[in-house]
Amino acid sequence: MSNKKTTRFTPSEDTMIREAVASGVTLKNLSQALGKSESSISGRKYYLKIEGRFGTGSKPKVVVKNNEPVNATEEINLFLLEDNVPLPSRTRNEADRNKIREIFKVMQVNQSFAVPRLLSYVATNLAKTEFPEFKIKCTATSQEKKFYRIHRLA
């Protein structure tokens, strides 16, 4: 148990929690910046009904500057949606999804095709959502698991 003092959350701390979730700041960094426990911050996030998750720490996010909490958006550039810019798909390439769709349209029972590892999830997801009558199986083509074979069983 930590020796942190118990205080109520201020509106500015609530704002910092919202901004931290939106920008992917880790819960640990936010806890250090606010001087509150991780569980109290998580509880406050739940109480405020803030959607989203804290960052994982794989990309360092700065919320403490000279031992003082700072506005997370000052330190992190956020992407903004612009007009006529398509939203990213899971594969980040709609052309790949369309190729897989076309293959499924002509695919017969007991046929298969190979896809790179990153597209194996996309292929299985497309089969489940857009071709529910298909029964498919996904297997690795080698021990390195760089490519997967998508089999149509029914």
Counted domains in the chain: 2
Instruction: Give every residue of the chain whose pLDDT is below 50, as ranges.
Output: 59-63, 65, 72-91
Q: What is the structure's pLDDT at 82? A: 42
111 and 70 within one domain: no
Q: What is the structure's pLDDT at 94? A: 78
70 and 17 within one domain: yes
What are the angstrom distances between the C-alpha of 18 and each of 25, 45, 74, 90? 10, 8, 14, 25
Q: What is the structure's pLDDT at 22? A: 82
If you compute the radius of gyration of the chain from its CA atoms, what whole number of angstroms results?
Answer: 23
CB atoms within 10 A of CB 150: 24
Q: What is the structure's pLDDT at 80? A: 38
Closest by CA to 141, choosing from 110, 122, 121, 120, is 120
Q: What is the structure's pLDDT at 30? A: 87
69 and 21 within one domain: yes
* Range(s) of the domain holding residue 101: 94-152
Q: What is the structure's pLDDT at 44? A: 92
